[in-house]
Chains A and B, each alone.
Chain A
Amino acid sequence: MDGARFEPVIIGFTCNWCSYRAADLAGTARLKYPPNISLVRLMCSGRLDPAFVLEAFADGADGVLVTGCWPGDCHYLEQNYHALRRFQLLKRTLAGLGLEAQRLRLVWASAAEGARLAGEFTSFVEEVRDLGPLHWGAGGSISAGLRAAAPAEVAGRVEAAIAVTITDAVTDEVMA
Chain B
Amino acid sequence: MTAAARPRFAMYWGAACGGCDIAVLNLNEKLLDVAARFEIAFWPAVVDVKYADLEAMPDGSILLALFSGAIRNSENEEIARLLRRKSQLLVAFGACATEGGIPGLANLSSPAEIYSAAYDDGLSTLNPDGVRPVTRVTVPEGELRLPAFQRLVRTLDQVVPVDYFVPGCPPETARIAEIMDVVGAVLDGRAELPPPGSVLGAGASTVCDECTRERHEKRLASFVRLQSIAHLDPNLCLLEQGIPCNGPATRSGCGALCPSAGAQCIGCYGSADGAGAQGARLLSAFASIVDAREPLDIDRALAGIADPVGQFYRFGLAASPLRGGRKGVAGSSDGETTTASEASESGARRELVAGAAR
Contact = CB atoms under 8 A, between A and B. Distances in A.
B190 interface: no
A86 interface: yes
A170 B333 contact: yes
A139 B307 CA distance: 28
Interface stretch (A16-24, A52-60, A111-119, A120-128): A52-60
Contacts of B310: 96
Contacts of B287: 82, 85-86, 88-90
Chain A binding surface, main DSSP class: helix
A98 to B, nearest CB: 3
Interface stretch (A36-44, A130-138, A149-157): A130-138
B226 interface: no
B145 interface: no
B277 A51 contact: yes
B230 to A, nearest CB: 26
A33 interface: no
Contact of A57 (B298, B322, B332, B343): B322
A136 B346 contact: no
A138 B302 contact: no
B346 A54 contact: no
Given A85-B290, A173-B342, A50 B280 contact: yes
A174 B111 CA distance: 11
Interface stretch (B210-218, B323-331, B350-358): B323-331
Given A89-B302, A93-B283, A93-B312, A140 B331 contact: yes
Contacts of B321: 51, 54-55, 57-58
Interface residues on B, range: 35 or more
B254 interface: no
Nearest to A176: B112
Contacts of A138: 323, 329, 332, 335-336
B327 A98 contact: yes
A71 interface: yes
A174 B342 contact: yes
Interface residues on A, range: 35 or more
A99 interface: yes
A166 interface: yes
A81 interface: yes
Nearest to B329: A136
Interface string A50-91: 110011011000000000000100000000011011101110
Which of the listed residues B298, B336, B340, B343 has the most CB atoms from chain A within 10 Å of its own CB?
Answer: B298
Contact of B330 (A92, A135, A173): A135
Contacts, number: 119
Contacts of B280: 49-51, 54
Contact of B293 (A50, A71, A166, A169): A71
Contacts of B284: 49-50, 86
B347 to A, nearest CB: 11
B174 interface: no
A64 B323 CA distance: 18
A97 interface: yes
Contacts of A58: 321-323
A89 B330 contact: no
B334 interface: yes
B173 interface: no
B178 interface: no
A34 B288 CA distance: 34
A167 B290 CA distance: 45
Given A92-B308, A176-B112, 4 more contacts: A98-B326, A138-B332, A139-B333, A173-B111
12 contacts: A51-B321, A54-B280, A85-B302, A86-B288, A88-B287, A88-B295, A97-B322, A135-B331, A139-B335, A140-B334, A165-B331, A174-B342
Interface of A: 49-51, 54-55, 57-58, 71, 81-82, 84-86, 88-90, 92-93, 96-99, 134-136, 138-140, 165-166, 169-170, 173-174, 176
Which 4 A/B pairs are nearest by Cβ-Cβ distance? A98-B326, A51-B280, A169-B331, A96-B309
